Amino acid sequence: MNGTYIPEGYKSLLDVRETQKAIKYVKDSFERVFSSAMGLERVSAPLFVDASSGLNDNLNGVERPVSFGVKNASDASMEIVHSLAKWKRQALRDYGFKPGEGLYTDMNAIRRDEDMDNLHSIYVDQWDWEKVITRAQRTKEYLEDTVKVICRALAATELAATAMFPALTPSINPSVAFISAFELEEMYPGLTPRQREDAAARRFGTIFIENIGCPLKSGQPHDGRAPDYDDWSLNGDIIVWNEVLGRAFEISSMGIRVDEASLKSQLEASGHTERASLPFHRDLLSGNMPLTIGGGLGQSRICMLILKKCHIGEVQSSFWDEETKSICEKNGVRLL
């Protein structure tokens, strides 16, 4: 079933050329403010990795990466990245970053199994970032302080964009409500995880849902999370209320990364102990990886939110099925 939804009476506040200018302005502004506030250096990153390295993000464990062979290396199998969650950590080690130092990069990916709708595309563009921390900083307090910095950068970018493009108005609440997935389940026991997010985002404006991946009272996690990058006890999603769509809107998945103990326990809990033999995982389990915090920030998601767009195809050029294109055309929604 097609997931495209056009709100009644929706009309873009910017025409297509204004939209293209605004996309660049928002991306340039956020990248500058965010990297400065977080103390991050920009680096180049791969579009694909060797499948045998264990570096690709396995997401929920069921998504199929786009893969291909290489002409002069018949035994190699390359995978288009899903994200750079693990690659960044290895890069911090290999580039000699120290505690308090970090990197970010433009990450482009293909997620062929994504269910396309207003918020999801098979093309993913985000700022992937990672920062070296000390063991003493592996705390909920440090995680939440970092979330506050990111949300202030997001709100500052929106204010700058509304000054540059007067048709826009600010709507992002820079104050974050921190709620664990366990608390969210208790607050709204009769709702699905998605409905809980809607209710909490509507109430607080900007929320950070913690402990993504941990089983709840129901026996299921709030949402799936791979066992080998975030520590499920020290992670979460930044979600804001999207007034155009009238729903919760995820901006970032992030967290303090697994150490030796949490990686081992999460591989066991998820039934993926075989990954412990992969190069990345062996290095981590042997203490040969820095302790880090990191995440991804959706570039098109941020543009969509700030520019008051109802469909992600209005701010990125991707593939859309004929039904989606027909629905958008009938409702005057211009897909790039």
Active-site residue, selected from the candidate residues 111, 225, 257, 301: 111
Q: Report helix, strand and coil shares of the chain as percent, to nearest 5.
A: 40, 25, 40
Active-site residue, selected from the candidate residues 125, 231, 237, 259: 237
DSSP 8-state class, residue 327: H
DSSP 8-state class, residue 95: T
For residue 111, indicate whether it is catalytic: yes
Q: How many helices (H) and strands (E) does the chain have?
A: 9, 11
Active-site residue, selected from the candidate residues 18, 223, 250, 283: 250
Active-site residue, selected from the candidate residues 29, 31, 35, 57: 57
What number of other Cβ atoms are within 10 A of residue 45's Cβ? Answer: 18
Copy the structure tokens of residue 55.
């570096």
Classify residue 322 by burial, with Cβ atoms within 10 Å: 0-12, 13-18, 19+: exposed
Please state, in angstroms and rounded to a whole number, the distance separating the CA atoms of residues 305 and 26: 10
Active-site residue, selected from the candidate residues 29, 126, 270, 299: 126
For residue 57, indicate whether it is catalytic: yes
Please state, in angstroms and rounded to a whole number, the distance separating the CA atoms of residues 262 and 265: 5
Active-site residue, selected from the candidate residues 253, 266, 300, 316: 253
For residue 52, indicate whether it is catalytic: no
Please state, in angstroms and rounded to a whole number, the distance separating the CA atoms of residues 256 and 293: 4
Beta bridge partners of 294: 130, 255
CA dihedral 141, 147, 148, 151 (to 10 degrees): -170
For residue 237, indicate whether it is catalytic: yes
Using CA atoms, how far residue 262 sits from 268, 272, 330, in Å, is: 10, 13, 50
The residue to which tokens 């366990």 are assigned: 182
For residue 90, indicate whether it is catalytic: no
Copy the structure tokens of residue 277.
């033999």
Question: In sequence order, what E strands does 261-311 have?
Answer: 292-298
For residue 259, indicate whether it is catalytic: no
Cβ-proximal residues to 290 (8 Å cutoff; 6+ apart), any chain: 89, 92, 93, 97, 99, 132
Please state, in angstroms and rounded to a whole number, the distance separating the CA atoms of residues 152 and 93: 29
Catalytic residues, by residue number, are 57, 111, 126, 237, 250, 253
